[in-house]
Amino acid sequence: MWLKEEGFKEMLKDWWQVGVNKRLAVDRVSFWDDQEQLRVLNGQELEARKEAREDFKKWALMKEISWRQKSRETWLKEGDKNTRFFHRMANSKRKRNCLTKIKINGLWLSEEQEIKRGVVRAYQNLLSDPDGWHLSLNGLEFDRIGVEEAAGLEVFSVEEVYSALSELNGDKTPGPNEFTLAFWQFCWDFVKDELMGFFKKFMRGEDSSEA
């Protein structure tokens, strides 16, 4: 199994840290850009934003170099036999992720801009507050949850997440990010902070799609 290859975990840890540092730099740049929209930044703040941008460039370049090295090593090791396979995989994913037409309210839309506008309008109509009668809950009594149930709604602890993760079958089909559960189990020591960040966002009801 590739996870057990000698030196793989150390290489993956370095690559993961580059990705984390890149995301942190992006967050810092976004923060200062947002602040500039609200007020005029002073000299120290402008310098901080400049440093954040330089950090982002550095980590982005390191990640690109890392991937180029891996691609070159794979090609040298496996030869041309990988080329057709990777092209097929890329084309397959591109086709799978491409939406060529959609039917909304009985009408087929095929133009890209029509599809975008149609989807937006459909969800706006679905989620908008309709005029007219509204359900009133005044005077109704609801059951209350107990202490044990309330505890189950608390933020997950690191121990709880790791325990649950360890009990899962690591060889199941990869998730949307293409990582199997075995990856998260094997690399827990350096991916746990990011994984816990995902759960914290989830518990706060925030968008966790980028986590």
pLDDT of amino acid 1: 47
How many angstroms separate the Cα of 129 from the Cα of each of 123, 134, 157, 193? Answer: 12, 10, 37, 39
The single residue listed with the structure tokens 């090593």 is 73
Longest Cα–Cα distance of the chain, Å, equals 74
- Whole-model pTM? 0.34
The C-alpha atoms of residue 54 and residue 59 are separated, in whole angstroms, by 9
How many angstroms separate the Cα of 147 from the Cα of each of 70, 143, 153, 161, 199? Answer: 52, 13, 10, 21, 22
Q: Helix, strand or coil for residue 104? A: strand
Chunked into runs of 10 residues, the chain (211 residues) has average pLDDT values of 55 65 76 82 84 77 59 51 56 62 84 83 77 71 79 80 79 60 75 81 70 51
Q: Treating both helix axes as pointing N-terminal to C-terminal, what angle do 43-78 and 8-38 enclose, rounded to 10 degrees? A: 150
Among residues 198, 200, 197, which one has the least CA distance to residue 209?
A: 198
